[in-house]
Amino acid sequence: MKHKPLRDQVLVVTGATSGNGLAITEEAVRRGAAVVAVAREAGALERLQERLGRGAEGGRVAIVVADVADETSAERILATAIDAFGGVDSWVNNAGTGTYGTLEQVPVADHRRIFDVNYFGVLFGSLAAARHFRTRGGGAIVNVGSMLSDRAIVQQGPYSATKHAVQALTDTLRMELEREGANISVTLIKPAAIDTPFPEHARNYMDAPPRLPPPLYHPSVVADAVLFACEHPRRRLYAGGFGPFGSAMSLLAPRITDRMMELIGTRMQQKPGDPGDPARRDNLFEPRADGALRGSQNVVARRMSLALQAQKFPGISIGLAVLAFGTVLTQLSRRRRRWR
């Protein structure tokens, strides 16, 4: 299965006006792709389109004001892409929302809203993309899950549940499309904690301002993973080195991981005295101040993930590991001879 170079592609990106979605959109345009940017806040979309379209080589950006939880939104997005650029080559389901609080604290209406956005939004987008790609001879569906697709975390139960569901949805869709012989790749991106406005956008039921647990990564790490998947079919990619570690710990030592979550999970997700920008607070049902790549809290974010690079180029990574191992063995052998 092969996909076009990114510069020749048209991408749909949902949740395009902040955080990971904004990083994906900016980098895709920088690399020459056309982008259909989707979000709920019209002003943020218009500013994004105007900014990325500046200059002699202005980017090709179309915008759609839509809530992905609306079942009709995916078809409107697709119609805009066809009118503006003739179709879609990669569809990135990135939009997401969440809450902080225990399962009992979060009202059932909020639970349902998170599923409407995080699960059904991905479902509607994936099905629309698959129908369209069949008519074009192929394409890429890239769903942004989370390392919490593998590992639930306290205070984010509904969000974790939706990311588990997105993983099952993504795997099922991949099998169904493979069975019919469709030239459509389906990739799940699993970010670790990324420095986006998510903690400020999430509805908070805790008694302290929320944060994402360190280590944090820059949104460009997720953009790198997503855009690689648009060109190179992959089953999954972890964005951020802590993702594979956390998933492995959950599998190999689930009770120990549970206990660590119970002991320090809440404290690691609270940042007393640093609530971030109040204008961004709580966008669960209505959009709030938007357009920021990173959160406004005082945190440190890594711009590089060696784990992601190793997943992108496994052959090279294995070769380097073998070379390094061979070098160590050679050095040990020389030292032994000298000792003798």
Catalytic residues: 159
Distances (CA, A) of 193 to 20, 205, 249: 11, 20, 16
Give the helix/strand (H/E) hosting 315.
helix 314-339
| Torsion angles phi and psi, residue 100, rounded to 5 | -120, 130
List of long-range contacts for 55-60, beta carbons under 8 Å, 24+ apart: 59/29, 59/30, 59/34, 59/35, 60/29, 60/33, 60/34, 60/35, 60/84, 60/85
Evaluate whether 157 touches 106 at the Cβ level (below 8 Å).
Answer: yes
Residue labelled with tokens 């380097």: 320
Nearest to 152 by CA among 138, 142, 136, 163: 163
Nearest to 197 by CA among 15, 61, 11: 15
β-bridge partners, 156: 101
Amino acid at residue number 160:
S
- How far apart CA 123 and CA 127 sit, in angstroms, is 6
Distances (CA, A) of 293 to 23, 60, 177, 228, 296: 7, 20, 34, 20, 10
β-bridge partners, 11: 35, 90
